Structure 1
Amino acid sequence: MALSVLGTGAVQLPPETRQLRQEVRDFLDAERAAGTILGRPDSWLTGWDPAFTRRLAERGWVGMALPQKYGGGGRGNLERYVVIEELLAAGAPVSAHWVADRQAGPSILRHGTEEQRRHFLPRIAAGACFFSIGMSERDSGSDLASVQARAVRTDNGWRLTGTKMWTGGAHVNDYAIVLARTDDSEDRHAGLSQFIVDLRDPHVRTEPIRLLSGEHTFNYCHLEGVELADDALLGRPGDGWQQVTGELALERSGPERFLSTLPLLTALVGQLRRTTCGPEQHARVGRLTARLSSIRQLSLGVAAALEAGRPADVHAALVKDLGTRFEGELVNEVREILPVTARFDATRGTYPELLATAILHSPGYTLRGGTNEILRGIITRGLELSS
């Protein structure tokens, strides 16, 4: 019912994407042979490997949907979808360029000045410029309209002060697109603006937020009076809320919202092939695969909508809600289908270590990109407006 009300239909990938998919698989096979891919869960979040990103960029697989005049591939969202789907399924280390490719590049293309486009987009497409997201704060959570970071006008531009939280990769990336309040208004969604901030500025300080596994991916990002020139402003002053909501459609709808734990399911199937597998185990794997297929079709619908220039905020929220719940439930199902002691200290890439990684990452699946409670409110409002 929800799908018909929201107007999501079945999407078929163009025939030409078959060759592209095979090219990506051949590349990934070579990377596996070289030992750079271990089929890890959540690799788009924690697999920071700039050298791997550069090899992808050399093949035109970073910045694929950016215009050629800015160094991009000039290809469509569905072609890009095929590439990132294969990378995620393989558990490839793609986190270095993930945010830059997924949302920073498209946002700069849409809202940036010509100077910003010519400066940043070719470097993103070359795998030489990496971005973080500066949205969330300690007391804001998914309520971005309540952010307290503030940018104040100065004679030379802006002075930015505040602390962002859950800023992935801020300790290793080059820039962050930061949402800050630039004007007070009774309407909390007004008076917000976005800025491109150099993360190596001496007035930017990062503080680690470690995962349960001990991995350092997220940070507090302290903006301690960062002096910004006028050309650091992305878009127009006060348009930050509209810009952010457009970005969230890109952030919430992609295959990473349901494929984070697919490498674990793939590893499970490999383990079951080497053991005596009963009909109940087969059936449970089949049910997981069927759920995965249906969520993928919904995600493809969002990619097709973005390709056609149609709004997809509600559809993206639905993908994120269904997909991230599936990711966590897959981990629990896998543990029951083949009981094995999870060991994070086991050899990297072995089944016990992959299982432990997926378990320790589980709390984040439904939190990052907006909590599912917030997303369900977006979905409910969308259904009400569509009925």
Structure 2
Amino acid sequence: MTSLSLTPIAIPAEDERLRSSVRALLNEIVSSIPPQIRARSWNGFDPSFSRELGRRGLLGLTMPVEYGGGGRSAFARFVVAEEMLNRGAPVGSHWIADRQSAPLILKYGTEAQKQFYLPRICRGDAFFCIGMSEPNSGSDLASVRSRATRNGLGWVLNGQKIWTTNAHNCHYMIALVRTSGRSDDRHRGLSQVIVDLSLPGVSIRPITDLSGDAHFCEVFFDNVQLSEDALIGQEGNGWQQVTSELAFERSGPERLLSSIVLFNEWLAFLRTEKHVSAPSKRLAGKILADLIPLRAMSVAVTGMLAAGRSPNLEAALVKDLGTALEQSIPAAIADDLSARQDNAIPAELLATLTYLVQVAPSFSLRGGTREILRGIVARGLGVQ
């Protein structure tokens, strides 16, 4: 049984000071973007924006200076990410690489891999996607069937990945694959490989969702020849590596703030009313009362990551609770707006609401379904 550790912690003052420069940048670049576009935020793909962040030293903040990074703690990245998401900046192009691919390569990669990939990530010149989910596997990562087989040139990769965000726009994928055994071997025989998505045999097909976006993708591997150094970490250690990686994916502010642009726009609308209704005031208070402790939990997990720990249990809990809040906000705001007698609701607020209502069901799917996360928490606490 594992004990749950979420001790409240303050973000260091030196990292808090980053907010002013980040806000100035966002005022310069993001303010003119309509809210229904900003609501896409970490799915918003804008390579020029990512390169500008790299030029200003706002990517790779946790990477060592010798690899082009900022040499700072995880708290610095938390501050930057929180500000970006709160304003709805288009961070999707660099998001995965900066959040989890770079830390994974730093922890498990060879020196040659670190020298090649990390400076490019820090400059905003290398974009990564996540190769985990597969058809008929979903969140059951241990059942993946994609396979990399050794040959004289390195590895031959065959298989398929799905729900791979922005794969059609990325340069690389870190894929969880089998390098030995069978799918019913579960955790044994899994490894991670870095796949150059421009290689022959890689084909990518975007999937259009209900909102009209097409950032989810199917990715197919047909006898893709990878070099020997495509393997990251130790062969057969993929399960340990990928669970360590998921702590970065599940615990950040993006698991709390997917609906924050809508919330901000709704609050701005309330401020224009002469008399804000009591139900609207109660709803605003409830959302803030839920958000504040969840943010404190997310900061606590960031502190654990900064200390070199792997808070898989705590990250799963934050992700489950955070996405529940994210999903509740569009429905609650829709009820509030529909209760009004007049129709004087800004068109951009309605467009933002429409988008979030359509995509909110996915919040509890990406990064691990609610059922998977609750199973992790239950097992960790010894109640399953």
TM-fit CA distance, 1:36: 8.6
Letter in 1 for 2:305: L
Instruction: From 32, 38, 60, give the equivalent of 2:30.
Output: 32
Alignment pair present for 1:127 and 2:161: no
Question: How far off its partner does 1:339 sit?
Answer: 2.3
> Which string of whole-angstrom CA distances, capped at 9 and with x for unpartnered residues, describes residues 63-87 of structure 1?
1000000001101001110000000
1:181 and 2:156 aligned: no
Q: How far is the alpha carbon of 1:133 from its aligned partner? A: 0.5
Number of the residue aligned with 1:113: 110
Which amino acid is 1:322 matched to? L
SS in structure 2 of the partner of residue 350 of structure 1? helix
Relative to structure 1, the CA distance from residue 314 to residue 107 in structure 2 (aligned partners, 3 Å threshold; closer, same or farther) is same
Structure 2 CA distance for aligned equivalents of residues 280 and 66 of structure 1: 46
Amino acid at match of 1:55: E
Partner deviation per Cα, 1:110-133 (whole Å, 9 max, x = no partner): 111100000000000000000000
Distance 1:92 1:287 in 2: 26
Residue 33 of structure 1 deviates from its aligned partner by 4.6
In structure 2, what residue type is equivalent to 1:381? Answer: R
Give the one of 217, 220, 227 matched to 1:219. Answer: 217
User: Aligned AA for 1:29?
Assistant: N
TM-score using structure 2 length: 0.94
Partners in 2 of 1:163 and 1:33 — Cα distance?
A: 39
Q: 1:169 to 1:336 in 2, by over 3 A?
A: same
The aligned counterpart of 1:283 is 282
Q: 1:63 aligns with which of 38, 60, 76?
A: 60
Which string of whole-angstrom CA distances, capped at 9 and with x for unpartnered residues, describes residues 35-59 of structure 1? 49877224102x0000111111111
Within 5 Å, give how 1:189-268 maps onto structure 2: 189-268=187-266
Q: Does 1:369 align with 2:360?
A: no
Moved more, 106-115 or 26-35: 26-35
RMSD of aligned alpha carbons: 2.0
Residues 191, 239 of structure 2: 8 Å contact kept:
yes
Structure 2: distance between partners of 1:339 and 1:55: 41
Give yes or no for contact 2:86–2:260 (8 Å, CA) kept in 1. Answer: yes
Contact 2:287–2:329 (8 Å) recurs in 1: yes
User: Helix, strand or coil for the counterpart of 1:216?
Assistant: coil
Q: 2:173 matched to 1:150?
A: no
* Separation in 2, partners of 1:37, 1:55: 21
CA deviation vs aligned residue, 1:159-194 (integer Å, no higher than 9, x gap): 000000011111110000011101116641010111
- The answer (yes or no) to whether the contact 1:268–1:338 under 8 Å persists in 2 is no
Q: Structure 1 residues 169, 340: CA separation in 2 closer, same or farther (over 3 Å shift)?
A: farther
* TM-score, length basis structure 1: 0.94
AA matched with 1:31: I
Q: 2:351 aligns to what? A: 353
Answer whether contact 2:190 2:239 (CA < 8 A) is retained. yes
Q: 2:40 and 2:377 mapped to 1: Cα distance? A: 25
Q: Determine the C-alpha separation between the residues in 2 that align with 1:6 and 1:183.
A: 34
The letter of the residue matching 2:41 is S
> What SS is found at the alignment partner of 2:338?
coil
Q: Is the 8 A contact 1:208 1:219 kept in 2?
A: yes
Shift of 1:202: 2.1
TM-fit CA distance, 1:16: 2.0
Aligned letter for 2:368? G
Q: Partners in 2 of 1:195 and 1:22 — Cα distance? A: 39
- Letter of the aligned partner of 1:234 in structure 2? I
CA 1:106–1:370: 2 relative to 1, 3 Å:
same
Q: Which runs of 5+ in 1 are unaligned?
A: none
Q: Aligned in 2, Cα 1:56/1:144: closer, same or farther, shift over 3 Å?
A: same
Question: CA distance change for structure 1 residues 38 and 69 in 2, over 3 Å: closer, same or farther?
Answer: farther
Does the Cα contact within 8 Å between 2:176 and 2:190 map onto a contact in 1? yes
What amino acid is aligned across from residue 84 of structure 1 in structure 2? A
- Cα distance between partner residues in 2 of 1:143 and 1:300: 28
Give the Cα separation in 2 of the matches to 1:37 and 1:273: 17
